[in-house]
Structure 1
């Protein structure tokens, strides 16, 4: 509601917007209705109406519902009419107090609630208000906050968000999905770190093996040296050789390029590099060749499907008459 000031204010055209509010003291049920245009005016009226000693300043105004400190005029103006404020003098701390009408039958012991339970209840309400203001705040919530909202009874959360139970149930399902995705991301990160550590460890082992092979190759006779030169001519990397030795189906763990290199390698040279017999080496090369052929066939099939799909997307007129002579306007 709007009120004009006195005659002087009327001459200046000043209009003050007064917001009706309710004032009460900490741990008190007595409420006082006032109207103020700003926080400073509300503080001043609180001192007068609630008989707060001016020497106990500063006076802090907090929301009676959850103890949120209100110290900004813009935020004050955004609050709904008849918002309840608790005036705290000097170093007083806000204490939860149920002052809603119709609850006078509740015993005084119910107000002496456990501090931990009360704090937890207020916490999920504050988090729920963040979502009520902007649903995109989901990405800013911690996993603890997400789990807390998921565990809140659907009816309580629906009442806090002013939504139906069906809508809130869908929201809680979405929160659970976000929580699950974060857990999957964490597990994937841990697996990746373990994989990188394994690769680093494997690289160190292979480098030591290569060093030992180099020392041995220097001490062998001319025949063995010739064989060593044959091995050095192989184009396969140490990782490919390791996969061939250790994997039960190595052809499934190699890229198409590596498969092609394996199939083109001389069986005797590859057998020496792997420390296998030639028959076993040829069997592995055949498996790699079959896998490579299968991948090429799949690639060709995929290209054919793409071409067919592209043709179907053409307009019927374009397909039947790809080139049409321009008609004479006459």
Structure 2
């Protein structure tokens, strides 16, 4: 059997190249387009057509949307996974990270190597996020620093860590902001109360009583102060907790529940030495921390109770409709 002259030629196996699925967008662009290409040149050509890039702005450079890596080698292109996202840059245009492009990075390219590696901030917020994933009630127990850290994390990154939708995570971040705002309002209320009490002292009603008590208890205070100086100043609190106690008004609102417990259990004399406070002020702060801790634990317990009641209510319709249970009723 003879072949027909001039018939279609069969391509060599080496000439057949598989198509790779890719995503295309412009710099700072929100729209992305799905295309399939077998090589970089084909992808570049389709980018000009789909993204309406003026060919007079050549050369057109393709970079990874995630980190701005220039892709100019076909072998490297073939090694990339399917649905890799590319940004098309025309002429002298420079790549800039866009937090709306759905990339995996959430910080700028310049700070990626330094900030997260050196400070460990990325690992810290992820640990707090996992704590919330296990139990949302732990929001009440977080410190103000942890709350602010989760609020500042880009929504897409937090959604990925929590395995939730962006809408749900945005609602969660709004709740975190409300908790933070409530603590700030409580702090401002306490500051106003302190100002009011100081005003009363200036009028003399409280100041006179304090002066009289100082005269009678001077020797006792000296003895107490001496006792503080002789006691051990070694405490289990971190410098971060001590700084919060010294510098922040209403420090109990800034600390996490774990830190509050440490402050409440600390020896008053040793804590007074570490803070350079008198024993009465130290004990007052410890009492305030203990009260705040009790309040938070009560809130968590209330949330658990509400969950339990809600679960029981949701199961009642099924129990009423169960015919076997109806037959057991003797009446």
Query: Could you say whether these structures have the same fold, taking a TM-score greater than 0.5 normalized by the shorter chain as the test?
Result: no
Structure 1 length-normalised TM: 0.32
Structure 2 length-normalised TM: 0.32
The higher radius of gyration belongs to: 1
